[in-house]
Amino acid sequence: MRRVASHYVYWNGLFRMHYVELDDAGCLAGIYPLEGEIAGTEFYDGILFPVVEGGKTFHADGTKIPCRWKRGSMPMESGSDAYRKLGLPQAAEIGKAAVLLLLSGVSLAAAEFGTDDGCCDGYIQRL
């Protein structure tokens, strides 16, 4: 069992202070509120995206891929717009194999994700 927590988890909506639980086979077991310290839980600063394997390649060695965004908009888009704009595979389903991607360096207070020439302070990496 692997538990990974973050300030935010984006999975069919935005969840603050939650953790993602993966079973021993790497399948998504669930998304749960982080109500206290849990032994063996990894914690990362940023936004976790539990996604299906496939689509855009994210290296297992932790290589960081720059992410472009621009200021002055809503905190997060709804539905699959954020996944599409970031070039991510779709959200993982409970009981299916999942990969955890971490988006760091982007303030949720004023971010709209995209591939334009906005600020490039963030990055995505596979955990």
pLDDT tens per residue, range 39-72: 999 999 888 999 987 655 565 565 666 565 554 4
- Binned at pLDDT 50, 70 and 90, residue 12 comes out as confident
Look over the chain and give the mean of its residue pLDDT values, rounded to a whole number.
76
Distance CA(54)–CA(62), nearest Å, equals: 16
The pLDDT of residue 73 is 39
The pLDDT of residue 29 is 96
Mean pLDDT of 12-31: 93
Pure H helices in the chain: 81-86
**Number of structural domains in the chain:** 1
Distance CA(100)–CA(72), nearest Å, equals: 27
The pLDDT of residue 33 is 97
Looking at this protein, which amino acid is placed at residue 9? V
The residue to which tokens 């004023």 are assigned: 110
Which structural domain, as residue segments, surrounds residue 44? 2-126
Q: Which two three-digit tokens encode residue 9?
A: 């988890």
CATH of the domain at 103: 2.30.40
Reply yes or no on whether the pLDDT at 88 is more than 70.
yes
84 SS3 class: helix
Task: For residue 6, list its beta bridge partners.
Answer: 18, 44
Range among 19-33, 87-101, 111-125 rated most confident:
19-33
Reported pTM? 0.75
CA distances from 54 to 57, 63, 83, 90, 98 (A): 7, 17, 13, 9, 10
Looking at this protein, which amino acid is placed at residue 6? S
Reply yes or no on whether the pLDDT at 108 is more than 70.
no
